[in-house]
Amino acid sequence: MIHKHGADVIQRKNCSRTENVGLSKSHSEADLPSKQAPKPKLKRSESTVQLKALPSYMVDNEFLLDYHRPELNSIMECIKSVFMMHTETWNIWTHFIGCLGVVCLAVHYFIHESESWHQSLSFAVFFAGAAFCMGCSTIYHVLFCHSERYCRFWAKMDYCGIVILIIASLPPWVHFAFYCTTYLKPLYIGVPVVFGIGALAVVLSDKYSGGDYRVLRAVVFISLGMTGLAPAIHYIATHDFFHWNFYFWLILACLFYFTGGVIYATRIPERFLPGKFDIWLQSHQILHLCVIGGVLTCYQGASKLAQYRISSLEECPGPGL
């Protein structure tokens, strides 16, 4: 019995020693760095950061507080981010879809509506200007977060596209409004081109292309658009009320552009509710929608005016260009 009892005591001590060793081993393993495979990290383009985490060159609107893409330094990562939700998502898609829409509209027009080479030329300028504007805008918003060099270059191209769109919108109107008055066409197209060159000098400069000069750029764009008022006033003053219907569309287009410019400059509505419009309905998205509305109404009016001039019984000594 004594021998058996002693064996039991020795066995319990051995078990206790084994448990203590196991506990100490588990504690020591817990203190060591985990050898488990680390959890896969999200790609940088799949994550968003707050405004305060952005480098200074990416701070374009201080009223958008969250859901910003970080600096990616990769074109492929920037392209992947197009399909994710962040502050630039709808800025990208509105003008990407708008650019495709302009291309489709141009194909439709040249196949089904264009009847002469000079008609095609004036509308080709318009379609090219609109597609260039929305295309540059799309690329800018995609590559905005690539690097400072990409951001600044494509921002200038974005502004350049707006200037070109404004100038390119005039040839169809001027050509068909003064269909028989060829000497006025160089004047009413040339003056906006000269002002447009001045506007390009402003928006392409390093000084005035930054975020601090947003209001100045808006004033430049709106002022350039106002150069189209001279041929509009001339046309309305020399034609009866029936012809005003055509220029109603041009006035509506100007209202779209003007409204978009004011909203862009004032950053409404996010100015009044910072952080509430980080994804949806921010001022830049509204500007994009206004640009699309302006392009469509401008086309509608110009195409109606062209159809009237071509189908009219009026004859000119020679329409020319």
In three-state secondary structure terms, 68 is: strand
Query: At a CB cut-off of 8 Å and minimum separation 6, what does 244 contact?
Result: 236
288 is in an annotated binding site: yes
What is the C-alpha separation between 217 and 210, in angstroms, rounded? 10
| 141 marked as binding residue | yes
First-to-final CA distance of the chain:
125
Residue 218 and residue 261 in contact, taking contact as beta carbons nearer than 8 Å: yes
Is 68 a known ligand-binding residue?
no
Rounded CA separation 284/264 (Å): 6
C-alpha closest to that of 71 among 138, 141, 140, 147? 147
The number of helices, as runs of H, and strands, as runs of E, in the chain is 11, 0
Annotated binding site: 141, 284, 288
Annotated binding site for Zn(2+): 141, 284, 288
